[in-house]
Chains A and B, each alone.
Chain A
Amino acid sequence: MPSRRAVLALVVCLGGICAGCAIFGETAAVWGICSAAVLICGYFFDRFEKRDTPSGDIALTAVMTALAVAGRLIFAPVPAFKPCAAVIILAGIYLGAEKGFAIGALTALISNFYFSQGIWTPFQMTVWGLTGLAAGLLGDKLKKSPAALAFFGGAAGLVYSVSLDVCSMLWLGGGFSAERFLGLTAASLWFTVSYMVSNVIFLLLFVRPSARVFGRLRDKYGPGR
C-alpha cells in the first residue's frame, strides 16, 4: 500500500508533466522524456537515500562506479570500445538491482564530469541505470549461462545506442519520422556495433574472474558487503 505522500508526489509530478506538455507544445516530446528521465533517476535515488544502507553497500557502489568511470577514461583512446557497460552489468548481477541502477546512473553522471556534460546526460543516466537494474533482476540467470550474459550485453549495447538516437531525434523536433530515425541509426551504426561487441567481449573476459572477486568479498567481509 503506497503512502499518501507518495501518491500525492506522483500526482504532482504527472500534473507538472502534463502542464509542461501543454505549455511547450512543439517541444513537448523533449519535455516529456526529460522529465521521465529525471523522475526515474529521482525515484531510485530517493530510495537509495531513504534506505538504511550499510557502509559496505555505499563503498561498493562508489568503487564500482569509479571502476566504470575509470574504465571509460583508461580506454579513452579507443572510440566506443569501453568496459563501462560491462562493469555496470556485472555490478548489477553481483550487487543487486537497486545498486545496479545507482551505479549505472552515477557512472553516466560522473564520467561526464571528465568528458563533457551535455543535454544527453539525463538520458544516459537513465539508460545505464536501467541496464544495471535489469542485470540485477536477471542476475541468477545471467550468472549461470555465459550465452545469456553475452546476449544481454549485446542487447544492452543496442538499446543504449538506439535509445540515445531516439532521444536526439525527438530533440531535433518535428516528432518521430521514420526517415530521420533511419538516418540517425545508420549514422551511428558503427557505434552501435562497437558498443555491442565491446560489451560482449568484456563481459565474457570479466565474468569468471569477477565471480571470484565478489565471492571472496562475501566470504571475507560478510554477506552483502
Chain B
Amino acid sequence: MEAVHLKAVTFRHNTAKQPALTDISLTVRTGELVMLMGPSGSGKTTLLKLLKPEIAPFGELSGEISLLGEKRGGTAPRVGYVPQHPEESFVSDRVRGEIMFAPENAGLPPEEVRRLTAETVSRFGLGKLLERPLASLSGGEKQLVSLCAVMVMQPDLLLLDEPFSRLDPVTAENFADLILRVNREFGTTVIIAEHSGELMLAQAERLIYLENGRLTADLPPRQAAKNAQLIHIMPAAARAFAEQEPVPMTVKEGRALLEKLPHKTELPLDETQGYSEPVLEAEGLRFSFRRDSEDILAGADLVLHKGEFLALTGANGSGKTTLLKTLAGQLRPYAGKVRIGGRPLKKAPLTAAMLPQEAADLFLQPTVAEDYRYALKALGRPEEEASAMLGYLGCEKLADMHPYDLSGGELQLCALGRVLLCQPDILLLDEPSKGLDPLSARRLGTVLKKLCAEGKAVLTVTHSLEFAAENACTCGIFCGGRIESLLPAPKFFSKAGFYSTASGRIARGMVKNAYTVEKLRQAPEGSHA
C-alpha cells in the first residue's frame, strides 16, 4: 500500500510570491524509511507539514495529496509529526501530561487514555521520567518525550523534522537507533527531514532531495553518492570512496573496502604552526558548585596563543561549558589562576567574549541590524559599524530579518558578529557547529580561521570531531575535569584511536594520518595527492 502519494503538488505560502514547492510528485510505500533532504530553505519542512493536514501552512495548494490511501480532507489519517525543537512544542509541565495530551484530546474515554499511556511508557522505558518536570530533562530525554507524545497515538506514518539538530552526536546516535526500531519493529512508515546524512542515510531505503522547492532526486542512498550534487550530504565513508562500487555507507563497509584496495600506509602530516604570544593561560583550575560535591574542573591547564584556533572535544556533561564560564570569569574557580594577556582577569588588558550555545539568546531586538545598533550604542561606539560587520560576515541580506526567522547557520554567523562587536581579542565558543548543515559548518569554520589569521585567539568546545579536524590548529580532549593530549591538530588526530573522526576510524591501523575525508581520498594507491 502507499503511505504517501503526491501528484504534481505545488504550494505557495500566503505571504510569499514564489511557490515554496513546485510540481512535486512522489510515492512512499508503507513501512519505508525515507530521508527527505536538502539545504535549508529548500521546502523540506513545508512538504512535511503538508503531510499533516492539521498543521498544514496557509496558502495556495494545487495537485493531489493522499495519505494512507485517503484523499486529503477526508477522515483524519493516523499521522504523527515530531516538530524540530522539542522544547518549543511542549504543552504541559510534566512528562505524564505531555504523553497524555494527544489521547486526552482525541475524545477517548479515561481508561483508554491511561492504557495508551501505559503502553507507550512501558515500550519506550519512560517509567523513571514520568513524574519529572519537563524543564529538568536533558536534551536527549526531551527529544524522547517529544517522540513518545506522538507515538502514544500509534501512528502509521511518522514525520520527523530535523530530529538531531539539537542533540550531541552520542545522544543523536541513540535517538537514531530508536527511530530505526520504530520503523523495523512496529512497521511504521518514517519520513525524516534532515540536512546531514551522517546518521540515518545508511539505513534509509530512499533519499528524496529537494532544492528550491523542486524534487531533484529520488533514489536509493547508495546511488546518490554517484551524483556530484548530492555528495556533500553523504556519510564520510561514501564521500571518501564515492568512485568505488558498491559505495560504502558505514565505517564498517569503508574499512572492508580499504582493506581490499591497494593503499598507502602513511600520508604526509600537515606542518604545524608555532605560536609565541600566549593570550589566555589557565593553571590548575579547580571548580565545584558546592564544597562537598564532585569537582567539575580538577586541575585544568590550558594555554591559548594569539592567532591560535584551539578546539576542545569531550563527551556530554563533561563540564566543557563550565570550563568556558570559568575562563570567561563568569564562575570563580576555588583554586588555580586564569590570566589574560599575562594579567589577572580583573585587570586584563585584552577582552574576552563568549558565544553561548543558544545563539538566539544574544538578540534583544526584533531585527539583526537593529540589534547590532542597540549593542553598539550600549558599547558607546558608532552605529555605522553594524553594516560593516554584516558585510565582513557576508550577511548583508540578513540585516532586516528577525533573529528567530534565521536558519541555524545564519543565526550562528549573525550571533558571532554580535559578539565581535565588542572587539574581543579572545573568542570563546560553546558548541558553535551544533545542528548546522555541512555547508554552514564549513562557512563558519572559514570565518573563524579568518579571524585567527587576523590575530584573534579562538577557543571552542565542541562535540564534533569533524569540525575540530577540519578547522582547528590545536586540539585537546576535556575529560575528568582536565585537559588531556593538548596537541597540534595533525598530531592529535594522527594519534587518535576510536575517539576520532569517521575517516580516522576507517583508516585506523591501515593508513596513518588520514583523519579527514580529503586526506582519506588520497589513501588509495594511484590517487593524486
Residues of A within 8 A of B (CB): 59, 209, 212-213, 216, 219, 222
Contacts and interface: CB of A to CB of B under 8 A. Distances in A.
A219 B58 CA distance: 12
Contact of B366 (A59, A216, A222): A216
A216 B402 contact: yes
A213 B58 contact: no
Nearest to A209: B366
Interface string B1-21: 000000000000001000000
A70 B402 CA distance: 24
Contact of A212 (B58, B91, B366): B366
Given A216-B366, A219-B15, 6 more contacts: A59-B91, A209-B366, A212-B366, A213-B366, A216-B402, A222-B58
7 contacts: A59-B91, A209-B366, A212-B366, A213-B366, A216-B366, A219-B15, A222-B58
Contacts of A219: 15
Nearest to B405: A220
A94 to B, nearest CB: 15
A212 B15 CA distance: 18
B288 to A, nearest CB: 26
Nearest to A215: B366
A216 B403 CA distance: 12
Contacts of B366: 209, 212-213, 216
Interface in B362-395: 366
Nearest to A55: B91
A87 to B, nearest CB: 18
A22 B351 CA distance: 74
B57 to A, nearest CB: 10
A20 B15 CA distance: 58
Nearest to A219: B15
A219 B404 CA distance: 14
Nearest to A213: B366
Contacts of A212: 366
A222 B58 CA distance: 9
A199 B15 CA distance: 37
What 3 A-B pairs have minimum CB-CB distances, sorted nearest first? A212-B366, A222-B58, A216-B402
Contacts of B402: 216
Nearest to B364: A209
Interface string B329-373: 000000000000000000000000000000000000010000000
Contacts of B15: 219
Nearest to B370: A212
A213 B366 CA distance: 8
A12 B9 CA distance: 59
Contacts of B91: 59
A212 B366 CA distance: 8
A64 to B, nearest CB: 15
A218 B215 CA distance: 32
A113 to B, nearest CB: 11
Contacts of A216: 366, 402
Nearest to A221: B58
